[in-house]
Amino acid sequence: MRGKRAKRREQKPDKRYGSTIISRLINKVMQGGKKSIAENMVYTAIEKGAEEVKEKDVNAFINKAIDNVRPALEIKARRVGGANYQVPLPVSPRRQETLAVRWLVGYARGKSGKSFDELLKNELISAYKGEGDAIKKKIDTEKMAEANKAFAHFRW
């Protein structure tokens, strides 16, 4: 038996735009507790990205980019009678946001050749336009869940 479920803590909005999504992005980018460096990189990336796609509001830019990457379905392994099944499950809104941020930052980190803020900007712009690696990951995840729809009755 596992212990108690961890309590959800409220996410504080970021200082400049008052958005919880941007603060989650900053926290995901942060390494070694260096938050001010992460803030500078994220703010630079989102401001330049919004400017490049001619979006006046930075919050609208980041929200559309994250919304395009949010997966609706995912698969979880369930063990039933000695066999493992990939069971498709709907994704809660909070987890959708978490996965979207994780994928965007992960794919930006995986590339090289430019500064991180430039790579993050490019990843956000491609997500805003509905293309790129993070969007491909979302589509693959949803296709996999769709393919395993036959095991949906194992959901509980």
Instruction: Return the half-sphere exposure (C-beta side, CA atoms, 13 A cut-off) of residue 84.
Output: 4
Residue 69 to residues 12, 15, 26, 97, 104: CA-CA distances in angstroms? 22, 24, 17, 8, 8
Q: What is the pLDDT of residues 49-106, one digit of tens each?
A: 999 999 889 999 999 999 999 999 988 888 888 888 888 989 999 999 999 999 999 9
Domains contained in the chain, number: 1
Residue 116 to residues 35, 41, 72, 89, 111: CA-CA distances in angstroms? 15, 7, 28, 33, 9
Q: What is the pLDDT of residues 8-50, one digit of tens each?
A: 888 899 999 999 999 999 999 999 999 999 999 999 999 999 9
Judge contact between 129 and 67, C-beta under 8 A.
Answer: no
Asked whether residue 50 is domain-assigned, the answer is yes
Q: How is residue 83 annotated by DSSP?
A: E
The parent domain of residue 114 ranges over: 20-154
Asked whether residue 101 is domain-assigned, the answer is yes
pLDDT at 138 over 70: yes
Asked whether residue 5 is domain-assigned, the answer is no
Q: Read off the pLDDT band of 156 (50, 70, 90).
A: low
Asked whether residue 11 is domain-assigned, the answer is no
The predicted pLDDT at position 135 comes to 95
Asked whether residue 9 is domain-assigned, the answer is no
Judge contact between 69 and 100, C-beta under 8 A.
Answer: yes
Asked whether residue 44 is domain-assigned, the answer is yes
Asked whether residue 25 is domain-assigned, the answer is yes
Interatomic CA distance for residues 14 and 24, integer angstroms:
9
37 burial via Cβ count (<10 Å: 0-12, 13-18, 19+): middle
The predicted pLDDT at position 123 comes to 94
Asked whether residue 12 is domain-assigned, the answer is no
**CATH number, position 112:** 1.10.455.10
